[in-house]
Amino acid sequence: MRTTSRRQFLKLLGATGAGLLAGRPCAARGAGTVNNDELGMLYDATRCVGCKACMAACKRVNRDSGGLAYERAPFDQDKLWDAPADLSGNTRTLIKLYKGPQNRWSYIKYSCMHCQEPSCVSVCPVSAMTKDKATGIVDYDKNKCIGCRYCQIACPFSIPRFQWERKAPQIVKCDLCRNTNLRGKGLPACAEVCPTGAITFGRRGDLLRDARGRIEANGGRYVNYVYGEHEVGGTNHLYLAGVPFPRLGLPRLPAEAPAEFSERIQHTIYKGFIAPVALYGMLCIIALRNRKKRESKGIQEEEE
């Protein structure tokens, strides 16, 4: 899990640049520390049967009904089948099927990774994206959002989506059912309905132990890696799979969060205010030189 694709590189660059421009450090935690008490989910692709009950439950609790033309499968002549091809302004959880060579296949779930150091929170200029200190849930306040879509650009997993088709669009992404199922039943709707136990909800530390235990007990069934343990500073949505993660659309990413990187650059630049003072000094010198030039030119003109 070392190389970074060109697209991911540009995304990380964008996230870092936007972070520098926003100039607001990610308020989540100290650099390099992971909070394993935060809430998260473990998705075990080897247990998933692709029934999409989680997708349906997610849409039900969030009132993200289907019915948009672009979401319908091409064969849906009677307009009864809702089969989103991607995350969108009304789909925040998606199950897809990977079919590879030698009959290798796997289902895969996409939804917000609830990063330990979320780039979306770091770049949002109006604090519409927030990370809850107690639970670690990355949430969104539609009343603060100005629609700049920095969060979309910065997310290394391309999760937040914008409701382009609506008059008053919002950013859409999973919030672990914070104000719906989690509040009412103590767990997100997808984890509640999964009939095979492919989605486990709990504290990150417990989920990690569970994941490592499954790998140890079932040699050969899993790729020997828990996706999300280290990527971009760690995520609270963790993955187990029997197929290499990049083939399932989960990108190879560095262990350092873009937010941490941009903060380090900011701190280096502004350390002791050396850079701003140097810049100010340079501007003064240029202004003085120009003034002298103008003055000597004026004297010359007077003499002529």
List residues binding ligand SF4 (CB under 6 A): 112-115, 118-120, 123-124, 126, 128-129, 138, 140, 145-151, 155, 157, 159-160, 171, 173
Q: Which is nearer to ligand SF4, 174 or 194 (CB)?
A: 174
Instruction: List the structure tokens of 142.
Output: 């539609």
Q: Least CB distance from residue 233 to ligand SF4, whole Å?
A: 10
The distance from CA 209 to its chain's CA centroid, rounded to whole angstroms, is 23
170, 176, 178, 181 alpha-carbon torsion, rounded to 10°: 110
One-letter identity of residue 162: F
Q: How far is the CB of 144 from ligand SF4 (least distance, A)?
A: 7
Name the residue nearer to ligand SF4 (CB basis): 126 or 278: 126
Count of positions (residues) in the chain: 304
User: Are 154 and 117 within 8 A, CB to CB?
Assistant: no
| Shortest spacing between CB 149 and ligand SF4, in angstroms | 5
Q: Measured from the CB atom, is 66 or 251 closer to ligand SF4?
A: 251
The strand pair at 129-131 and 105-110 is best described as: unpaired
Q: Which is nearer to ligand SF4, 44 or 117 (CB)?
A: 117
Residue from 66, 57, 259 nearest 176 by CA? 57
Name which of 174 and 241 has its Cβ closer to ligand SF4: 174
Q: Which residues contact 47 (CB under 8 A, 6 or more apart)?
A: 196, 197, 198
